[in-house]
Structure 1
Amino acid sequence: MNNMLYDMATKRITAVMDFDWSCISHPSEEFLAGLWDIGGGPSDRVGKLLPNILSGDFSTPPTDSAPAEEMRAWEIATAWDTALAKKGTIRPSSIAGIRQVQALSTFEQLLCPFDLASEVMLKRHSDEDNAKRLADAEGTLRE
């Protein structure tokens, strides 16, 4: 991650720095919205990990016929959950009300998708792609 300081000698994260997106938030925020740049989170494009992450149940891996990308995302998510459990830290599955918080987060993303609210993200995609994203979000809201 680009906002962590890591001490190679102690093999520990010594600081998390975040200047432009700093806020005080619910403990679930990093699990639901952050960690996207290292994989294994609910925002992975694979999209099938959310039930595992919220329940903490990684006992059933993807089938052998699953795409390599899906298997890799599952391995990363499993490693994250195992490491958090081993260290006794907060895991998504240990947060009371996590499913309701996640549902609210999903609704928030449908109302104002980050890709369509950020000038930087808008410039990364064509007008046609942005129009499709908007139409997809509006369609999901109507469901």
Structure 2
Amino acid sequence: MESNQTAYYKTPIGTAKITGDINGISSVTVIDDVIETSIIIPEYLQECVQQLDDYFKGIRKQFNLKLNPQGTDFQKRVWDELLNVEYGKTRTYLEQTKKLGDVKAIRAVASANGKNPIWIIIPCHRIIGSNGDLTGYAGGIWRKKWLLEHENTSTQQLLF
């Protein structure tokens, strides 16, 4: 069995640490440490780095990658539903919970969102509070705001 490989990709809002193997991308996390983009990108991670680069350049709105996030069955259901939130759109935690079929599970859904291991590609940054607040984001609220503004530049100027 092959072990996860790692690559670092420098983004406008931090360094992305990407891990994965033949089974797909298992994590994309943002780290505050300044680490240069990896000179040699492992084969299984090259497409992910390219698609993230296209995203930050504003030329990619959808990702087409083999994903392999590790989590509980419930977390995977929540993360799969996040993939349905379109580029440039937001959804509230309550709307997200309704899509999953149990409005009483709002805290569990929010918790699963917070444990999303694949930054940007599984777009948990597109989930906001019912009052429009940018609540809870593991990468920091300023990154969530940046990502939402980045995705909305074509339709309107500053959202928040």
User: Would the TM-score normalized by the shorter structure come out above 0.5?
Assistant: no
Structure number with the higher strand fraction is 2
* Greater gyration radius: 1
Structure number with the higher helix fraction is 1
TM range (shorter): under 0.3
TM-score (norm 2): 0.23
Q: Higher relative contact order by CA 8 Å / sep ≥ 6: 1 or 2?
A: 2
